[in-house]
Structure 1
């Protein structure tokens, strides 16, 4: 497991006084495939502002995916969002609602604008689907419960 993912997971396990609305009742995890498919056009805007309002409780938590052979961790706490990719990309920004649409707006290191602005397409107890306006396209994330990686997430050789 790459250092960036370990750091992201350690960061998410340092929660404040929130009793976590989901309760963490997750027996055997049937993990949906964490996938990435580029369907965007290749032009991205470096959105730095956040949506107004707060992200719904369904977005709260740690979400994991793989893209281009690297682990991606998306962490949403309140209206704050952070994204970490093995290999060094770190992003921070906001998650919220803008005119009834759930959005994620990030500013990333390494001049990476592929995840600068995203729209939440769907979210349930175990999967989050985000369509990024940049070249990244649509990514599906799997919820990480209790700071643990979900079963079935390919991690061997990531970040090398």
Structure 2
């Protein structure tokens, strides 16, 4: 079984960014589970996931460790490992590297606007070619949080 967001939280972010969230059509609530066959037959144009550093709670976690202390190389390695999972690896969106991981903790944060920006730019690069989510995040850190912007909060797959 695979966890997916429904109409709330990241499902709403995807819809706001101009995407179609599979879970929004399946679940009235914020989330639910689907089987692998449902995912494969839906033929998603893109595959989005959340990630954070779960290692202190789950030693065996293979999740993409995004966040303030993220290591970019480890995050990319984990993303590639998740993309190579049996079943998921047959999706055209995976084969075409149309995969984006977004910091999980943005689900409940005023900084979630940057998740929406990153998703919008990922899904519609031509439409949002002038949008720079990282520059916007850096500006908010500098102007309002008075802290340097550091970390990795979204990561798009790249061909190996």
TM-score of the two chains, using structure 1 as the length reference: 0.28
Q: Which structure features the higher share of strand residues?
A: 1
Higher relative contact order (CA 8 A, sep 6+): 1
Q: Which structure features the higher share of helix residues?
A: 2
Question: Quick check: which has more Rg, 1 or 2?
Answer: 2
